[in-house]
Structure 1
């Protein structure tokens, strides 16, 4: 192996040998050197030399440790593991080799085959390819392994086209021809055969076979490519669409393309965006800045703008948009585009620009090319001596039209650079010039030297020079007065959304996938564009293809168009790439202690690898020693690193991470169990993954992080089906299902259908397991669902089942709750007397000291059954007391309920529960001031916490108050909004009475038709659902509407119906209220005696000393009827 000194000399850099020796730089150290090391530590100032060194080091990392078999640098670096990656594969086959073998001496044939193989090796090596295998006259070549380039597909096709030309020029007895097939895809590549059996690095996947099959259908001296490759090539080449072809060994027809020739394109950006540009978003300030620079340059003050930014940030897009703005303005545009394949080709961007400007075509004769060049140069009156220099630069032969100059190579180089500068000066004298020098980070050293001269010269010329480059490039012109640096930042989320919308147009895209794109593309416009396009393509594929991709969303895969450029950045890391893979498995962000514990390497070695990742711009460090954290700069870089890991090594790595977190990081185990769950899930340890997901769900639920709780629990339920169906699994499944139901209940409200389904499933699980406590919890949830969804009959059934189970288990607390559920259910169904009995049974078992909110038993009951048990009992007890004709006791119960609720400072749900039910008690009592006070509190509290369920109930109370205060229009608005919010929660309970409130408000607002229809709807819902407790009041209010213009038979019928239903239910207060309304109508019709007698019969049941509003109204009417003159004869 050569020494470092000899290695430097082989690259023309021997002047730095002493510096390398002084700093003890050995071959093992070379891969860790950075651009900063070369400049600041070794003192290598010229950018071109630093760039050449870094490229040579990168090549060295990929060189074989033994002598190359086919071409220098064509062997991959030793790898311990195979990996998964996207590769472009070329298969080249010599045409007619079978005929050759029959007509040639074996030794002659061997020479032909050897010459062909060497020709292939040299050609593909020039383009960065790796010759993987030669089998006779067939050669398999990889582009993208062992080192990726962001333009691997383009390199492969250019290599294929060059191969056709070079093979044809081989010095063999007969002219040789070649067929080339190329395909791109994801493969497994590396050591595929156990160590000791073979040293061959192979490839597994469909892509090599596809490339070989495409070669078989190619015409001689033709390159045929797959659709997967064509998508990555833009307009770099001209193609012939061969249509869909059936290929042996390939499932289904595939589309094939023949590559005709390379295209002449002004820039790489234009070639890759040939189908159109997306809207320029978020760059208004930068465009305006460039316009100001253009105006100054047009006035003779030359300007240089150094436009920098990471790959994909939009440098070329911004430049393209600015160029478009100048269309129509007098100027000359010179566009130079550097290429990653020509970093060592002197003056490549200059030559390319001149060839395009002159219109030189490949098929032109040398004379025709010279004629075109002369026509171009005549526009600036270029001298014959300088024209000769331009012709030589373009490798055109001098046909004696130019004078011959005896110049040394160095003199010719300097004169050529001077001639180019003079050209620019001449153009600037005739018209303002816009020069765009793109991708300077790929420039060859000579072009950079020329660019430096141009920067110095244009200060007094009408020239605007825009130089674009990536952050790793360090221009030497910063600080000059006419030079301005402009760095592009990432886009904001809103701007990213605008790009997505522009690409998607009218196509459907789910909101969660759109959010995935925003999150994963980090504000990089190119990432946004390619990810969005990839998602749209994925959405058009079959579900089977998406399932095969093993990703839950199309936005969670790395697009093929970005894969190569991301892998190129990773492959340049050398040994640090393994650390990037481990970090990627941990997550986008990870701490130094965790990484060190997982990696298990010496600290110095670990830190050196981390420094390499940071200097390469892949990681960001946050915080300092001893506990720094690291974050991948881009999500997609992390994903690309992770995607290279094969399944088994990936599982083992995740298991190691999970075990490390368990054993060394107790705080994470306690506070972030979902992280450990993720690693156990990826390690296929389902039991541990489920256990940690369950813990994560419990923790999230306890912190009211409902969305997170739902995700953790549903993931656990999905995973648990893979475990054996034993008692342990069934108990864990029951626990998870109950937690899911509770999460959905708190997230969506008990009235949502998903909540009912979740609790119904939990009830079935609890029966299978035989767990009475969980069975009670599930029954309570199912009861609450039926309660809020307006299914009183089912609610009563679950209440009875709950009470029966609690009594069998002989648990005092659940028995008390069971009586409360039965009492509430009977009340809603309209069985007022039975409801009062059941609620009484609950209350006699209630001990404030034992069951209060501060007691352990009270807290346990609240956790199991949703609310403070005392609040819930007094809530419905106050309703039952009023309905059964005890308004004074009802008011006392409501006051007690409010006090209990107010004392529950940290139990929002119970406090709100108390406010609503006490508020409704005061509605029944007719206490407008008290309802207004409670409704205001409820609304404010609910609005502040964004709780639509309670907001709706607050609106009902406030709407009722507004109607009683004579503000009918306000009442209508509040009640309509309350009903809208109520419907959104999935709740249907209380709809009949609230619709009756709305109908009454319509009537007050002089909208009788609307009122009539709304009363009918309220009665229909009450009959359909069985929620009959308020049916007497609905009939009474309907009767008020119908008799508003005077007595009516229909109105009287509604009063009679109200009285009959109230009497049937045992609802004496509603009976009193309806009888009072009926008595007024009868009195108006002259039936004073009948009115008096009927009203007196119900009034006698009440305590005459009570000052309730309904009793006062009835008493006043009785007094009026008693003094009214009786008709004669009576």
Structure 2
């Protein structure tokens, strides 16, 4: 850590000048030795400091008893108000030492993360050109030019060393924030956003963590939801509602915008290591943020091995090349050291003393200038005494320079030589560690009946202290209460070579044992680590456990909108299932996999994709075979959505009835609401308006405030709100325009955007339908504008398409015909590209109306013809009467009007509206036909047709349709005189 005048850890401040501790302007009394202990702990915040370290630092070359340190720590705890059981500042690591755990700030800094290098690399980096390039790009970043840099090269080339050196220099200046994420071989590809979540977690654990959590809650709730440790339990449900309906686009955008607003206050360096092991979702975000044009003080520094990526066919290579082609990133390819580079390294490592003649040439010849190989050999020679320092020069143990035989031919041979010098106990422990991964906790290596956690920790810590193979990474605390050291292999090559040396059968056994140890340790939070556990059990051939955790991993990936990863987990689980014994056990495992696969496929392929039907139908068959009704309802709901999306409304209605039967059988309150919603909306699309009203109002009545606030309705579309908003459209069709508007306001009052953007956007769009029905384009414009904005921000593409069409219609009505038509056509194209046919006939009718305004009757008739074909194919009839009426109007506007066909279409519209009891559509059809008859001097017939329909209404007399009918009736009445009861026209 850079020497600073003060170091703060709230509410205390260390004044390093006069070696004093302050709190709220008051100087606290500390003995000199206690201050020295505190200073040392704070300087190494987050790191485990052993008792030996403290004795050597505070009492060098002096013998004191263990009590001296104990007394100092006790004094510090008293002054700081700290306790052993619930430490806020000094944590005791039993049997090992202490760790300072409070966030630390030096002058101008806001973060001192323990996992980032706070000291320079232990040997010369010898990459001055690359460091200069990074600092040049850092300056450009501080001017607002976002930077994405990839450091590439083969294993051992020095990528991490270069990154560590750069980050250390950046942190010394304390001009920027730094955070870090690591891609992990064993489960990185399956754990969606793993390095990004790690980097976020590191920021949230810093001194500004509380403020950042608040900001995440506002700007990126779907990301905060993936970090439950930072969310109070009481707020978790509300956060789920806010993050509901998350899509991949929303996840990418939320984190990008969060990073941009964060860097507006303080520049940020984000390090992402080993991207050749990255999950696809992380690479998606990386590409997304690189392509954004807004200024940002964001510096993303990624490392990867091109050769490994090519062998794995990993997408990082193509993404990096594409970003370079677009001038959105820079790649620094590290090469081997030249002979001069080897000499520079040796001079830096060994000092100004003379080097043995021929040493540079020999090392370059045998290592080919590979930095890791070079550094490892030199360090090993120094450790073994092969290379020794006299006062004037360095000498090699033998008479001449070491013989070539003393240098292994490859890094692998060198590492294997080093491993061969380990004790059998240490070697076996490192074997287990290699199975656990590049990064591991000591507790994960404890096998039943063998060493305790404390013993394993001590053994690994000893290796780390000697700089052999591993280094300390801090402390890991598991949900079951076990705390142990966290470690990392100094280089991934150590882990890879150790892992490859293990016999296949023993490797499988170790994976199973470590998996079960992690399973126990993670306890109730085990699902959060599902991808890691799934990989252990897959490699360990524990198929039953592997399938369970693959499902959990798929569900977790789906929650993060990481759909490729979810599909991969679920299909892997289904493949593994084929090796299990015959049913019923295999069926019990397959059922949830198929159910979740149906949900994922509906997002990836679209609600109406064949894969969706296949997954849900298979799940339905499994439910029937197992006699399992508990899992049947989500499967039926998934199938219902599929058939609605495909506009197979007959099947959808049957499924709705089955859902209602299940609700009655189980007396399940939430399922009652969902079943009535499913039946109500299906009946609405079918044009069975009275049945739709009955089901929707029953759903509303059953959806009590208590039920709406329960966890059942916290995620996804709120069925209570949906019942209300569909009821509004139904009421308008049935002839109750004012009641429809009242229902609209009730629905919008039930849900607000910050709490539930998914349901709120849905409600806005269907509320807009009512304003379109009422022909109130100002309210329609206001609400569709909000819906379109939310759909764009949140990533709701289908609703964006629908909102665009409605906005276009409003523009067309206002006289902006060309722009309105362009928007309607674009929205309809986007909607149909998704394979959705639901409501397409309605949108085609709006488009036809626009063609009519442009005096393009033929184009309008073509659109209506297509709409009728869609209705015939799908059975969606709720807007059928209006399609026939518009067809009649356009036929009358042709250059050669077809009066006969127009009149037939008006009669058809009337018949359909009356059959459906759609009084509002009957009024429109009657008005059109009455106007035609008026032009044919059939004034009495026109009046007799329109008057009974108009007089039926009891509300909505200020709406455009009723005002138009009233004007026509008044005109007809003034000509023919009122017949019978001459009651004045209402409204």
Give the TM-score, by structure 1 length. Answer: 0.47
* Secondary structure in 2 matching 1:773: coil
Report the CA distance between 1:1111 and its aligned residue.
1.0
Q: Which residue of 1 aligns with 2:412?
A: 567
**Structure 2 counterparts to residues 251-262 of structure 1, below 5 A:** none
Q: Structure 2 CA distance, aligned partners of 1:1058 and 1:1098?
A: 14
Report the CA distance between 1:649 and its aligned residue.
0.6
CA contact (8 A) 1:677 1:693 kept: yes
Q: Structure 2 CA distance, aligned partners of 1:1070 and 1:840?
A: 22
Q: Which residue of 1 aligns with 2:918?
A: 1067
Q: Are the structure 2 counterparts of residues 901 and 607 from structure 1 closer, same or farther at C-alpha, using a change threshold of 3 Å?
A: closer
CA contact (8 A) 1:570 1:641 kept: no
**Which of the numbers 818, 825, 835 marks the counterpart of 1:969?**
818
CA contact (8 A) 2:699 2:720 kept: no
Q: Structure 2 CA distance, aligned partners of 1:624 and 1:1105?
A: 69
Q: Which residue of 2 aligns with 1:989?
A: 838
CA contact (8 A) 2:442 2:460 kept: no
Q: Which residue of 2 aligns with 1:1120?
A: 971
Q: Which residue of 2 aligns with 1:853?
A: 708
Report the CA distance between 1:628 and its aligned residue.
6.2
Q: Structure 1 CA distance, aligned partners of 2:708 and 2:459?
A: 58
Q: Are the structure 2 counterparts of residues 1099 and 1109 from structure 1 closer, same or farther at C-alpha, using a change threshold of 3 Å?
A: same
Q: Which residue of 2 aligns with 1:887?
A: 737
Q: Which residue of 2 aligns with 1:735?
A: 592
Report the CA distance between 1:992 and its aligned residue.
0.9
Q: Structure 1 CA distance, aligned partners of 2:499 and 2:418?
A: 15
Q: Which residue of 1 aligns with 2:942?
A: 1091
**Structure 2 counterparts to residues 522-537 of structure 1, below 5 A:** none
Greater relative contact order structure (CA < 8 Å, 6+ sep): 2
Report the CA distance between 1:1061 and its aligned residue.
2.3
Report the CA distance between 1:727 and its aligned residue.
4.4
Q: Structure 2 CA distance, aligned partners of 1:861 and 1:565?
A: 60
Q: Are the structure 2 counterparts of residues 1117 and 862 from structure 1 closer, same or farther at C-alpha, using a change threshold of 3 Å?
A: farther
Q: Which has the larger radius of gyration?
A: 1
Q: Are the structure 2 counterparts of residues 945 and 689 from structure 1 closer, same or farther at C-alpha, using a change threshold of 3 Å?
A: same
Q: Are the structure 2 counterparts of residues 775 and 862 from structure 1 closer, same or farther at C-alpha, using a change threshold of 3 Å?
A: farther
* Secondary structure in 1 matching 2:751: helix
Moved more, 584-593 or 1069-1078: 584-593
**Structure 2 counterparts to residues 181-192 of structure 1, below 5 A:** none
Q: Which residue of 1 aligns with 2:438?
A: 588
Q: Are the structure 2 counterparts of residues 796 and 663 from structure 1 closer, same or farther at C-alpha, using a change threshold of 3 Å?
A: closer
Q: Which residue of 2 aligns with 1:1057?
A: 908
Report the CA distance between 1:783 and its aligned residue.
1.0
Q: Are the structure 2 counterparts of residues 1089 and 841 from structure 1 closer, same or farther at C-alpha, using a change threshold of 3 Å?
A: same
Q: Structure 2 CA distance, aligned partners of 1:638 and 1:984?
A: 48
Q: Are the structure 2 counterparts of residues 451 and 634 from structure 1 closer, same or farther at C-alpha, using a change threshold of 3 Å?
A: closer
Report the CA distance between 1:770 and its aligned residue.
1.7
Report the CA distance between 1:722 and its aligned residue.
3.1
Report the CA distance between 1:1062 and its aligned residue.
2.0
Report the CA distance between 1:586 and its aligned residue.
1.4
CA contact (8 A) 2:765 2:787 kept: yes
* Secondary structure in 2 matching 1:931: helix
Q: Structure 1 CA distance, aligned partners of 2:560 and 2:708?
A: 19
* Secondary structure in 1 matching 2:418: coil
CA contact (8 A) 2:551 2:570 kept: yes
**Structure 2 counterparts to residues 624-643 of structure 1, below 5 A:** 629-631=486-488, 638-643=495-500
Q: Structure 2 CA distance, aligned partners of 1:778 and 1:474?
A: 59
Q: Are the structure 2 counterparts of residues 568 and 805 from structure 1 closer, same or farther at C-alpha, using a change threshold of 3 Å?
A: same
**Structure 2 counterparts to residues 659-738 of structure 1, below 5 A:** 659-666=516-523, 669=526, 671-701=528-558, 708-738=565-595
CA contact (8 A) 2:457 2:485 kept: no
Report the CA distance between 1:648 and its aligned residue.
0.7
Q: Structure 2 CA distance, aligned partners of 1:777 and 1:827?
A: 22
Q: Are the structure 2 counterparts of residues 730 and 901 from structure 1 closer, same or farther at C-alpha, using a change threshold of 3 Å?
A: same
* Secondary structure in 1 matching 2:835: coil
Q: Which residue of 2 aligns with 1:25?
A: none
Q: Which residue of 1 aligns with 2:621?
A: 764
CA contact (8 A) 1:762 1:778 kept: yes
* Secondary structure in 2 matching 1:590: strand
CA shift digits 1:800-855 (9 cap, x unpaired) = 23223433445455345433322322221122233334434445x526345x412x
CA contact (8 A) 1:693 1:712 kept: yes
CA shift digits 1:355-396 (9 cap, x unpaired) = xxxxxxxxxxxxxxxxxxxxxxxxxxxxxxxxxxxxxxxxxx
**Which of the numbers 1044, 1050, 1054 marks the counterpart of 2:893?**
1044
CA RMSD of aligned residues (A): 4.4
Q: Structure 1 CA distance, aligned partners of 2:693 and 2:375?
A: 85
Q: Which residue of 2 aligns with 1:267?
A: none
Report the CA distance between 1:1009 and its aligned residue.
4.7
Q: Are the structure 2 counterparts of residues 802 and 474 from structure 1 closer, same or farther at C-alpha, using a change threshold of 3 Å?
A: closer
**Which of the numbers 597, 606, 629 marks the counterpart of 2:460?**
606
Q: Which residue of 1 aligns with 2:803?
A: 954
Match status 1:314 vs 2:335: yes
Q: Which residue of 1 aligns with 2:720?
A: 870
Match status 1:1004 vs 2:856: no
CA shift digits 1:746-771 (9 cap, x unpaired) = 56653343333322222222112222
**Structure 2 counterparts to residues 12-51 of structure 1, below 5 A:** none
Q: Structure 1 CA distance, aligned partners of 2:628 and 2:672?
A: 17
Report the CA distance between 1:935 and its aligned residue.
0.7
Report the CA distance between 1:666 and its aligned residue.
4.1
Report the CA distance between 1:1114 and its aligned residue.
1.0
Report the CA distance between 1:1103 and its aligned residue.
1.9
Q: Structure 1 CA distance, aligned partners of 2:817 and 2:799?
A: 22
* Secondary structure in 2 matching 1:672: helix
Q: Are the structure 2 counterparts of residues 720 and 927 from structure 1 closer, same or farther at C-alpha, using a change threshold of 3 Å?
A: same
Report the CA distance between 1:1019 and its aligned residue.
1.7
CA contact (8 A) 1:706 1:747 kept: yes
Report the CA distance between 1:315 and its aligned residue.
4.1
**Which of the numbers 680, 684, 688 marks the counterpart of 1:831?**
688
Q: Are the structure 2 counterparts of residues 748 and 936 from structure 1 closer, same or farther at C-alpha, using a change threshold of 3 Å?
A: farther
* Secondary structure in 2 matching 1:574: helix
* Secondary structure in 2 matching 1:1100: helix
Q: Are the structure 2 counterparts of residues 602 and 777 from structure 1 closer, same or farther at C-alpha, using a change threshold of 3 Å?
A: closer
**Structure 2 counterparts to residues 286-365 of structure 1, below 5 A:** 313-315=334-336
Report the CA distance between 1:871 and its aligned residue.
1.2
Q: Which residue of 2 aligns with 1:171?
A: none
**Structure 2 counterparts to residues 512-551 of structure 1, below 5 A:** none
Give the TM-score, by structure 2 length. Answer: 0.54
Q: Structure 1 CA distance, aligned partners of 2:741 and 2:719?
A: 19
Report the CA distance between 1:781 and its aligned residue.
1.6
* Secondary structure in 1 matching 2:440: strand
Q: Are the structure 2 counterparts of residues 967 and 678 from structure 1 closer, same or farther at C-alpha, using a change threshold of 3 Å?
A: same
Q: Structure 1 CA distance, aligned partners of 2:664 and 2:837?
A: 31
Q: Are the structure 2 counterparts of residues 752 and 646 from structure 1 closer, same or farther at C-alpha, using a change threshold of 3 Å?
A: same
**Structure 2 counterparts to residues 815-830 of structure 1, below 5 A:** 815-830=672-687
CA shift digits 1:333-368 (9 cap, x unpaired) = xx9999xxxxxxxxxxxxxxxxxxxxxxxxxxxxxx
Q: Structure 1 CA distance, aligned partners of 2:361 and 2:779?
A: 87
CA contact (8 A) 1:862 1:869 kept: no
